[in-house]
Amino acid sequence: MSEVGFVGLGNMGRPMAERIIGAGYKLAVNDRAEAAVAALVAAGAEEAGTIGELTARAETIFLSLPTPEVVIAVGRSIAANPGVVKRVVDLSTTGPKAEMDLAEILSAAGIALIDSPVSGGVAGAKKGTLALMAAGPSAHFSVVEPMLLALGKVIRVAEEPGKAQVMKLINNICSAAALAITSEAMVMGAKAGLDADVMIEVLNAGSGRTSASADKIPRFVLPRGFDFGFAIGLSLKDIRLCLEEAERLGVPMMVGNAVRMLFSITKADLGADADMTAIIRPLEKWAGAEVRGKAAGA
């Protein structure tokens, strides 16, 4: 079995890399954070100290990186030192333009790109229950599909890299909008004197059910932990990318712009590293009401 490479061992990258090791693949990893690399080495990976060392060993390289700029920079490094690399699988959320640019950079070095952003958060990455949207050449997709299946459910959306990014942005704006409106509604109910746990029970039993009411709010807001595991700054980046693509396509996004406003306010108030579920906190402050479940205690 040929060696596989992995660049980016952050909150999402580390558990995904561990899943690939668990599926029986020989993995070489690269990250600036020494502690993250050490943890993967302890789990069975080998360290590749540089991108050049990685490209000399791995025919397939996975990327899980925080911004389009970082993805492009790493892509250029791979293309400059292609080694034995045949394909790159980008698990990051970059937006379609950056992904198409990445495909062009890699193609010039004879490397194929599989565009495969993921959805499901840190918990899904750990459990192997992510949703993976994939776009790329069939011959290369067939090679990486077994590896992707170690991470979750794989849905192939197109041949051309960039199309999976559009799908991911659509998914993320829907998720962010659900969290925003459900947070507003929960604060309204708390201000009116309704029990937070009862509100969630009613929403999930009826037509108001969303990913926020089913998971994020009961698990991460009602206990007051705000630890879903995805930063508000990264959420806002995804929203921005979606709105930019919608504008390019000539599609109005009135609700999407309102969602961006709430996420921007939360970032300014709590910082970019605050959890995305903390968007409820500015709403609580303005309303003078707190959404607290029984799990939070007195």
- Whether the CA torsion 69, 74, 80, 82 is positive or negative: it is negative
Residues 171, 123 within the same domain: no
**Buried/exposed 25-39: b ≥16 CB within 10 Å, e otherwise:** bebbbbbeeeebbeb
Rounded mean pLDDT, 154-159: 96
Count of structural domains, the chain = 2
Residues counted in the chain: 298
- 168 as an active site residue: the answer is yes
Residues 24, 88 within the same domain: yes
Nearest to residue 172, comparing CAs of 227, 96, 240, 72?
240
Residues 31, 113 within the same domain: yes
Q: Return the CATH number at 45.
A: 3.40.50.720
Tell me the three state secondary structure of residue 239: helix
Give residue 241's domain range.
166-296
Rounded mean pLDDT, 143-148: 97
Residues 8, 137 within the same domain: yes
Residues 176, 259 within the same domain: yes
Exposed/middle/buried for residue 106 (C-beta within 10 Å: 0-12, 13-18, 19+) = buried
1 has pLDDT over 60: no
Residues 266, 212 within the same domain: yes
pLDDT band at 295 (very low <50, low <70, confident <90, very high): confident
Distance (Å, rounded) from C-alpha 80 to C-alpha 61? Answer: 14
Residues 146, 17 within the same domain: yes
- What local confidence, expressed as pLDDT, does residue 97 receive? 95
The residue out of 127, 160, 193 marking a domain boundary is 160
Q: Return the CATH number at 219.
A: 1.10.1040.10
Residues 70, 12 within the same domain: yes
For residue 275, give the DSSP letter: B
Tell me the three state secondary structure of residue 133: strand
Distance from chain centroid for Cα 1: 28
The residue out of 115, 140, 160 marking a domain boundary is 160
Residues 155, 170 within the same domain: no
Inter-CA distances, 72 with 93, 101, 177, 218, 296, Å: 12, 8, 28, 37, 43
The residues, ordered by sequence, that sit 6+ positions from 235 with a Cβ below 8 Å of its Cβ are 172, 176, 263, 276
- What local confidence, expressed as pLDDT, does residue 298 receive? 61
Residues 9, 148 within the same domain: yes
- What local confidence, expressed as pLDDT, does residue 296 receive? 84
Residues 10, 152 within the same domain: yes
Q: What is the dihedral of CA 206, 210, 214, 217, to 10 degrees?
A: -120
- What local confidence, expressed as pLDDT, does residue 172 receive? 95
Least confident of 86-90, 121-125, 145-149: 121-125
Q: Are strands 118-119 and 152-158 parallel, antiparallel or unpaired?
A: unpaired
pLDDT band at 87 (very low <50, low <70, confident <90, very high): very high
Residues 54, 9 within the same domain: yes
Question: What is the per-residue pLDDT across 222-264, written as a single tens digit (0 to 9) for each?
Answer: 999 999 989 999 999 999 999 999 999 999 999 999 999 999 9
Q: What are the start-end ranges of the H helices in the chain?
A: 13-22, 34-42, 51-55, 68-80, 96-107, 121-127, 138-149, 163-191, 196-205, 211, 232-249, 254-270, 280-287
- Annotated catalytic residue, options 163, 168, 216, 237: 168
Question: What is the per-residue pLDDT across 22-39, written as a single tens digit (0 to 9) for each?
Answer: 999 999 999 999 999 999
The residue out of 132, 160, 188 marking a domain boundary is 160
Q: In whole numbers, what is the pLDDT of the chain averaged over residues?
A: 96
The proportion of the chain whose per-residue pLDDT surpasses 90, expressed as a percent, equals 96
266 has pLDDT over 80: yes
Rounded mean pLDDT, 276-289: 98
Q: What is the pTM of this model?
A: 0.91
Question: What is the per-residue pLDDT across 91-137, written as a single tens digit (0 to 9) for each?
Answer: 999 999 999 999 999 999 999 999 999 999 899 999 999 999 999 99
Rounded mean pLDDT, 272-293: 98
Distance (Å, rounded) from C-alpha 82 to C-alpha 69? Answer: 20
Q: Supply 239's token pair.
A: 């929203």
